[in-house]
């Protein structure tokens, strides 16, 4: 419970200030200073460095000596997109654990047992989470997350029917909260991936179980080639936002490339 409330004194978690930002060397040095102290409540001091691929090379190098000769009372966990995204000197000194998603059927059943939610809702949360229990549990505990998804899907529908002038007028507001914008773009991306999967007639289950009619109409309108194009556009926009490379231009290009579609 202390860890969940972030009140456990022997646990330190650091990450870049924002997604697509850079983990700074001073953040790592401050962490190393705390790790040099003896544990206060438990047997170990635990450090978790999130999205370490976003660390500046100097920040990675600052951690290197501690990884080579870690104090006996210290446990260090690093998360990253892949081992290849880290400096080889860092990756070679770590034990690599590949975290795989949970089968959605098992996750759905777990949600039903733990949260008492209906099977249909549990199935939806399990699929939307991509088999990640933490995300599924947050959706079950926070109705506002589900409402946010609904709003982004409605906004996507509105944009497809809007003129280019109207789309461009919305860019400024969208850029005010980039984390929220990324969330919306990923929701749209999941929709177009479902469109692609259905158009390919694969056996892979769609994520947006509650959007069967919408997905079918988009498949009829855009098919495999069109859905692949939309996926590429959205992935490129998300990448540019994460790297903070001219986000306004990236979003304006997206507004140009989004298709016109009226349900």
Domain extent at residue 121: 102-141
pLDDT at position 180:
87
239 and 190 housed in the same domain: yes
Query: In which residue are the tokens 């906004």 written?
Result: 155
Q: Is residue 262 part of a domain?
A: no
pLDDT at position 176:
86
Task: Please report which confidence band the pLDDT of residue 10 belongs to, taking 50, 70 and 90 as the band edges.
Answer: confident
Q: Is residue 31 part of a domain?
A: yes
Rama region for 201: left / alpha / beta (φ>0; ψ in -120 to 50; rest): left
pLDDT at position 147:
92
147 and 224 housed in the same domain: yes
Query: Which CATH number is 50's domain given?
Result: 3.40.50.300
Q: How does pLDDT run across 118-150, given as a tens digit for each residue?
A: 999 999 999 999 899 989 999 999 989 899 999
134 and 36 housed in the same domain: no
The SS3 assignment for 10 reads coil
Q: Do the beta carbons of residue 35 and residue 63 sit within 8 Å?
A: no
Query: Which CATH number is 169's domain given?
Result: 1.20.272
Q: Pick from 81, 114, 141: which residue ends a domain?
A: 141
Both tokens assigned to 59: 């920040």
**Pairwise CA distance, residues 198 & 183, whole Å:** 23
Q: How does pLDDT run across 70-106, given as a tens digit for each residue?
A: 888 999 999 998 888 899 999 999 999 988 889 999 9
243 and 154 housed in the same domain: yes
106 and 86 housed in the same domain: no
136 and 148 housed in the same domain: no
Q: How does pLDDT run across 188-240, given as a tens digit for each residue?
A: 999 999 999 999 998 788 999 999 999 999 999 999 999 999 999 999 998 88
Q: Is residue 263 part of a domain?
A: no
Q: Do the beta carbons of residue 191 and residue 211 sit within 8 Å?
A: yes
DSSP states of 135-190: HHHHHHH-HHHHHHHHHHHHHHHHHHHS-HHHHHHTHHHHTT-HHHHHHHHHHHHH
Q: Is residue 50 part of a domain?
A: yes
Q: At what angle do helices 119-128 and 104-115 cross, to 10 degrees?
A: 130
Q: Is residue 207 part of a domain?
A: yes
Q: Is residue 210 part of a domain?
A: yes
Q: Is residue 169 part of a domain?
A: yes
130 and 223 housed in the same domain: no
Count the domains in the chain.
3
Residue 13: enclosing H or E segment and its boundaries? strand 11-14
When computed from its CA atoms, the radius of gyration of the chain, rounded to whole angstroms, is 22
In what order do the strands lie in the sheet containing 74-78?
Answer: 11-14, 45-49, 74-78
151 and 81 housed in the same domain: no
Bridge partners of residue 75, in order along the sequence: 46
72 and 127 housed in the same domain: no
List, in order, residues 6 or more apart from 28 with CB less than 8 Å away: 14, 49, 55, 59, 62, 63
179 and 232 housed in the same domain: yes
Q: Do the beta carbons of residue 5 and residue 41 sit within 8 Å?
A: no
- Indicate the burial class of 127 (C-beta count within 10 angstroms; 0-12, 13-18, 19 or more): buried
Q: Is residue 29 part of a domain?
A: yes
The predicted model scores a pTM of: 0.73
């Amino acid at each position: 419970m202390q860890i969940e409330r972030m009140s456990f004194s022997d646990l330190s978690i650091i990450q870049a200030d924002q997604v697509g930002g850079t983990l700074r060397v001073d953040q790592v040095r401050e962490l190393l200073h705390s790790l040099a102290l003896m544990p206060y409540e438990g047997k170990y001091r635990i450090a978790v460095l999130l999205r370490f691929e976003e660390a500046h090379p100097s920040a990675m190098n600052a951690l290197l000596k501690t990884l080579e000769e870690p104090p006996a009372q210290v446990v260090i966990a690093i998360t990253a997109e892949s081992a290849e995204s880290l400096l080889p000197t860092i990756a070679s000194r770590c034990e690599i654990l590949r975290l795989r998603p949970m089968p959605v059927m098992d996750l759905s059943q777990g949600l039903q047992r733990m949260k008492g939610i209906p099977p249909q809702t549990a199935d939806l949360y399990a699929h939307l989470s991509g088999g990640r229990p933490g995300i599924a549990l947050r959706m079950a505990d926070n109705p506002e997350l589900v409402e946010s998804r609904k709003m982004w899907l409605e906004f996507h529908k509105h944009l497809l029917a809007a003129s280019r002038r109207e789309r461009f007028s919305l860019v400024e507001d969208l850029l005010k909260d980039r984390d929220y914008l990324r969330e919306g773009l990923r929701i749209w991306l999941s929709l177009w991936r479902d469109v692609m999967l259905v158009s390919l007639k694969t056996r892979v289950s769609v994520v947006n179980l509650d959007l069967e009619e919408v997905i079918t109409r988009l498949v009829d309108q855009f098919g495999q080639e069109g859905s692949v194009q939309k996926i590429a556009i959205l992935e490129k926009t998300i990448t540019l936002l994460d790297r903070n490379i001219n986000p306004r231009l990236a979003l304006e290009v997206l507004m140009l490339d989004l298709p016109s579609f009226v349900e």
